[in-house]
Amino acid sequence: MSATVTTKGQVTIPKQVRDFLGIVPGTRVDFNRAADGTVVITRADKKPSVGRFATLRGHAGKGLSTEAIMALTRGEE
């Protein structure tokens, strides 16, 4: 994606980027220079968007004890 800078130094953020970051009119953004010289844009007013797999992370519960798992693998009940 690319954008053109106006004579006033303004750039329109591409729609795909706005949608990904949840940027709407009035949203503040930060521009940060990375170690490799690239510039990264992030929302200034909240945490960055989570990745598509982040919502799948979690814990299923306490689960079985080691003894119970060993009993199952040995065929004991």
For 59, the domain range is 15-74
What is the C-alpha to C-alpha distance for residues 65 and 70, in angstroms, rounded to an integer?
9
Q: 69 phi and psi, to 5 degrees?
A: -65, -45
What is the C-alpha to C-alpha distance for residues 30 and 63, in angstroms, rounded to an integer?
42
Q: How many domains does the chain have?
A: 1
User: Average pLDDT per run of 10 along the chain, which is 77 residues long?
Assistant: 92 90 89 91 73 71 85 84
Residue 7 lies in a domain: no
Reading the block at residue 71, the tokens are 């009993």
pTM for this predicted structure:
0.50
59-62: Cβ within 8 A, 24+ apart? none
Single out the residue of 22, 28, 27 nearest to residue 49, CA to CA: 22
pLDDT score recorded for residue 47: 61
pLDDT score recorded for residue 1: 83
